Amino acid sequence: MRIRFDGRVAIVTGAGGGLGRCYALELARRGAAVVVNDLGGAVDGGGGSTSMAQAVVDEITTAGGTAVANHDSVADRAAAQRMVDEAVSRFGSMDIIVNNAGILRDRTFAKMELDDFQKVVDVHLMGSVNVTKAAFPVMKERGYGRIVLTTSSSGLYGNFGQANYAAAKLGLVGFMNTLKLEGAKYGIKVNSVAPTAATRMTDGLWAPEVLDAVAPEHVVPAVIYLCSEDSPNGHIIEAGGTYFARVAIVEARGVVLGPQATAEDVAARYEEIADLSGSRTFDSGLEIATTILKAVSGASGNADGP
Residues 150, 35 share a domain: yes
Residues 182, 67 share a domain: yes
pTM of the model: 0.90
CB-CB contact of 239 with 192 (8 Å): no
Classify residue 4: in a domain, yes or no: no
Tens of pLDDT, residues 184-196: 999 999 999 999 8
Residues 221, 270 share a domain: no
Lowest mean pLDDT of 79-83, 109-113, 121-125, 202-206, name the range. 202-206
Last residue of a domain, one of 223, 247, 271: 247
CB-CB contact of 241 with 218 (8 Å): yes
Residues 200, 51 share a domain: yes
Long-range CB contact pairs, 242-249, < 8 A, 24+: 242/218, 243/196, 247/156, 247/194, 248/281, 249/173, 249/281
Range(s) of the domain holding residue 18:
9-247
Give the Cα separation of 295 and 252 in Å (integer): 13
**Most distant CA pair in the chain: distance in Å?**
71
Classify residue 73: in a domain, yes or no: yes
Catalytic one among 23, 144, 165, 225?
165
Classify residue 156: in a domain, yes or no: yes
Tens of pLDDT, residues 28-55: 999 999 999 998 766 655 655 678 999 9
Residues 49, 110 share a domain: yes
Q: Is 144 a catalytic residue?
A: no
Torsional class of 18: left (φ above 0), alpha (ψ -120 to 50), beta (otherwise): left
Residues 139, 112 share a domain: yes
Tens of pLDDT, residues 146-190: 999 999 999 999 999 999 999 999 999 999 999 999 999 999 999
Residues 183, 282 share a domain: no
Residues 265, 181 share a domain: no
Q: Which residues contact 108 (CB under 8 A, 6 or more apart)?
A: 160, 161, 163
The number of distinct structural domains making up the chain is: 2
Residues 261, 157 share a domain: no
Residues 212, 265 share a domain: no
Residues 34, 60 share a domain: yes
Residues 267, 122 share a domain: no
CATH number for position 20: 3.40.50.720
By 3-state DSSP, what share of the chain in percent is helix, strand and coil, each rounded to 5? Answer: 45, 15, 40
